[in-house]
Structures are given as structure tokens and as C-alpha cells.
Amino acid sequence: MALRIYVDAAFGEGLAAIAAVQAGASEPLFSLLIPAKDNNEAELIGYYLAALRAPEGAVLCTDSGRVHALLRGRTLPSQAELPYLEGIHLAMEQKGLTHAFMGGKRRRRRRAHRFLHAQADRLAYETLQNALNALHEP
């Protein structure tokens, strides 16, 4: 079975926290803050960064319907999304990465995927909350 990497983002007040968790690893692949205009942009950038850092043959997992639609060609990217999408496709081709959508019914049916994706979700949320709390401290 291929190595799975779960990517998620949390967005608030112009900041996004992006987290990626590798199945079977004790530490996250990464967790960081970036400026973002919305959650869709944050999810796409997170997926892009995960594709760059992923080992060969990995499966990148997301619950973002927007990222999934962009990767499948079901929707056209905006000018701002295009460089990230091209970078993702290039990394996927060079490293033999594959994509898995964890949203909808698939996510609800697979307990292991739900647990691992929830780790990425929780890490992104906690990273964002810590940053926002630090911004609002007197």
C-alpha cells in the first residue's frame, strides 16, 4: 500500500494554517501559517506544498472539493490558482504521486481515513487558533 499524506487547512482573519500528516508517522509532515484570501486558496497551497515535500509514489489526500475539481479538470483555475495547479501536476508526474478525495461518502465510510484526516484538520485548526490568540493578546 502506498504512503498516504493527508492535507488540510484552517482559515481566519486573512491567515491560513496548513497541515499535512503522513500515515504511520509520529510527527506531522508540516504545519505552517500563510496569508490567504480564503480557505480554497489555503487548501490549494497546502496541497501544492505537500506535493513538493511528498516522497515518490505517495497518495495525497484532501477533503477539499475545490482542489479535487481543479485536479480533475472539472473547473477552470483562476489566474492566481494556475501556478499552484501547474506545480502540483508537475510534482505528481515527476514523483508518481496520486490523488485521493476524502470528502463526501468516501470519507464517511473509511474509519482509518477519517482518523488520519482529522489529525491534519485538528493540527491546522490549533495552529491557526494559537496564531490568532497571539495576535489578539494585549
pLDDT digit string (tens) for 46-90? 999 999 999 999 999 998 999 999 999 999 999 999 999 999 999
**Measured between alpha carbons, how far is 74 from 53 in angstroms, rounded to an integer?**
26
At 107, the pLDDT band (50, 70, 90 cuts) reads: low
